[in-house]
């Protein structure tokens, strides 16, 4: 009799515990302790799928703001865009500060206000890692008359691609981060990391004033961050995700050749004067040979050795040379193999000639000898080339080449504002966490790539904060940033939101493991 009563009591107790557990599960109370991270991921992904129309609508609203930072007349639109981003972050519960910068002097001599920079903080749990995301909400100029098939400020879905200025550079990725965080909030799940946001409105205009702000905030806003993530570039492939661990720098130069006081008639004086244009063409031709090799002595001295270990990173990269030719619109590259092409695009310097100021360029022919011409070229630097050293090498070489011509004309070589290359360690924890997140969402391992272009913010943040920086793109190779066909695919926009949410979980786990290991 007692055994039956005990059994009945135990049965009732188990039923009661089950009911309590079920109520907690359905209400979300205590769910963080009874659900593992994988099931939480599934919930986050489902929420993101269920709200993708809303996410696309928000991107449409952001693209509609003509936040062109290049043209001063659009400055109010940039400020409006910063305000929109601020409101989104405040809706997440972030503590947002708008930091006013100095003024910008524009070409007509006026001083206009720079847009404020957003510094936002969400969470301050000392037991969690702190991740800082950098993004920008300004865009390059765009007009339909430039060759757009659609209005650049009306987000247009064509075959699953969302076309519009800023869709991939950088409004789409910024929103993907915000949506990833909102998924945790709306599901009432604890954010696994502390988050900080650094969002500016002058990236396309060389981030005027940002470096000074980061230096001022080094011991404040940036003092307790563990990782910095930038999502402002694209994959190498149209389909396979990538993580970027290096970019080239850039050193721009102008070469001015000054002849007489005024332009001359080629019929009256051609053949008896040393023409500035001839001097300039000869100098420009002396910079690089037909194989792309830079002829300036010493320019390769500080380039890192191309090790066998680094070459192995190229082996798994998906890269279709013939398709790349089609995408770029050329018939032949200077090199024939994947390793040669990618290494000369990423980890060797290149020199490009961009144009000549002072030359006649309209239709027809103008029989004039220009008195003053300026050639423009740049060198994409790589680790560990030094910007000052490169400037000296260029000036010395051009002056030597010019002296060989015995020209009576005057040569002036001056360097434009430059940017340093950036490289980081792919063994850093956040690269491992991001790779796991990509595998989870896209079902494939990412390509580990470098970028041939220049993204100054990466090196600047790494130099000043001394923190680990990672570039984590979600845009595909054909997104056409800055072009008349800029877009982000709907798939990448939504999956990018998922992969960012997964990354936050993964970096939290890895960081805890590192802390346990250090103890």
Task: Tell me the catalytic residues.
Answer: 138, 203
Q: What CA–CA distance (Å, rounded) separates 118 from 90?
A: 11
Q: What CA–CA distance (Å, rounded) separates 48 from 182?
A: 9
Dihedral angle, C-alpha 89, 92, 97, 103, nearest 10 °: 0
At residue 348's C-alpha, the angle toward residues 400 and 466, to 5°, is 105
Q: What CA–CA distance (Å, rounded) separates 133 from 205?
A: 20
Q: What CA–CA distance (Å, rounded) separates 398 from 413?
A: 8
Dihedral angle, C-alpha 455, 456, 457, 462, nearest 10 °: 110
Burial of 456 from C-beta contacts in 10 A (0-12 / 13-18 / 19+): buried
Instruction: Please list, in sequence order, all residues whose beta carbon lies within 8 angstroms of the beta carbon of residue 513, skipping any fewer than 6 positions away.
Output: none
- Determine the angle formed by the axes of helices 52-63 and 37-50, rounding to 10 degrees: 60
Task: Count CB neighbours of 87 within 10 A.
Answer: 9
Helices (H) and strands (E) in the chain, counts: 16, 20
- Grouping H, G, I as helix, E, B as strand and the rest as coil, residue 185 is helix
Q: What is the DSSP string of 192-226?
A: SSEEEEEEES-GGGTTTTHHHHHHHTTTTTTTT--
């Amino acid at each position: 009799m007692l055994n039956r009563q005990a059994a009945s009591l135990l049965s009732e107790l188990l039923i009661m515990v089950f009911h309590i557990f079920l109520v907690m599960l359905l209400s979300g109370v205590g769910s963080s302790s009874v659900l593992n991270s994988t099931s939480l991921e599934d919930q986050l992904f489902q929420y993101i799928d269920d709200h993708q129309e809303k996410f696309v609508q928000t991107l449409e609203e952001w693209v509609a703001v003509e936040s062109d930072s290049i043209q001063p007349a659009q400055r109010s639109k940039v400020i409006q865009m910063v305000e929109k981003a601020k409101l989104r972050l405040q809706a997440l519960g972030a503590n947002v500060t708008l930091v006013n910068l100095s003024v910008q002097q524009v070409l007509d001599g006026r001083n206009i206000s720079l847009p404020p920079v957003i510094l936002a903080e969400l969470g301050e749990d000392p037991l969690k890692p702190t991740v800082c995301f950098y993004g920008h909400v300004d865009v390059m100029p765009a007009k339909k008359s430039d060759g757009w098939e659609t209005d650049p400020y009306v987000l247009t879905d064509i075959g699953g691609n969302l076309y519009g200025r800023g869709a991939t550079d950088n409004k789409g990725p910024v929103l993907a981060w915000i949506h990833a965080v909102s998924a945790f909030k709306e599901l009432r799940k604890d954010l696994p990391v502390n988050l900080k946001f650094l969002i500016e409105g002058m990236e396309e205009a060389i981030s005027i004033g940002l470096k000074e702000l980061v230096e001022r905030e080094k011991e404040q806003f940036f003092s307790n961050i563990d990782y910095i993530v930038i999502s402002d570039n694209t994959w190498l492939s149209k389909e396979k995700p990538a993580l970027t661990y290096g970019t080239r720098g850039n050193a721009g130069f102008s070469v001015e050749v000054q002849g007489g006081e005024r332009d001359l008639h080629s019929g009256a004086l051609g053949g008896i004067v040393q023409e500035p244009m001839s001097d300039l063409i000869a100098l420009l031709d002396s910079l690089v040979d037909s194989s792309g090799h830079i002829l300036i002595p010493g320019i390769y001295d500080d380039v890192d050795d191309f090790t066998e270990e680094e070459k192995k990173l190229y082996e798994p990269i998906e890269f279709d040379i013939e398709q790349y030719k089609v995408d770029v619109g050329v018939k032949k590259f200077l090199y024939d193999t994947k390793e040669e092409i990618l290494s000369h695009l990423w980890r060797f310097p290149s020199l490009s000639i961009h144009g000549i100021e002072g030359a006649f360029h309209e239709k027809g022919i103008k029989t004039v000898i220009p008195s003053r011409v300026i050639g423009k070229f740049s060198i994409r630097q790589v680790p560990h080339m030094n910007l000052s050293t490169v400037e000296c090498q260029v000036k010395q070489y051009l002056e030597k080449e010019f002296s060989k011509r015995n020209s009576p004309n005057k040569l002036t070589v001056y360097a434009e504002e430059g940017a340093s290359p950036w490289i980081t360690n792919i063994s850093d924890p956040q690269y491992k966490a991001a790779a796991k997140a990509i595998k989870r969402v896209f079902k494939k391992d990412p390509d580990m790539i470098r970028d041939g272009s220049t993204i100054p913010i990466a090196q600047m943040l790494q130099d000043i904060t001394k923190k680990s920086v990672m570039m984590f793109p979600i845009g595909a190779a054909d997104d056409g940033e800055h072009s008349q066909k800029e877009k982000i695919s709907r798939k990448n926009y939504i999956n990018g939101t998922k992969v960012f949410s997964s990354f936050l979980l993964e970096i939290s786990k890895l960081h805890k493991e590192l802390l346990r290991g250090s103890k």
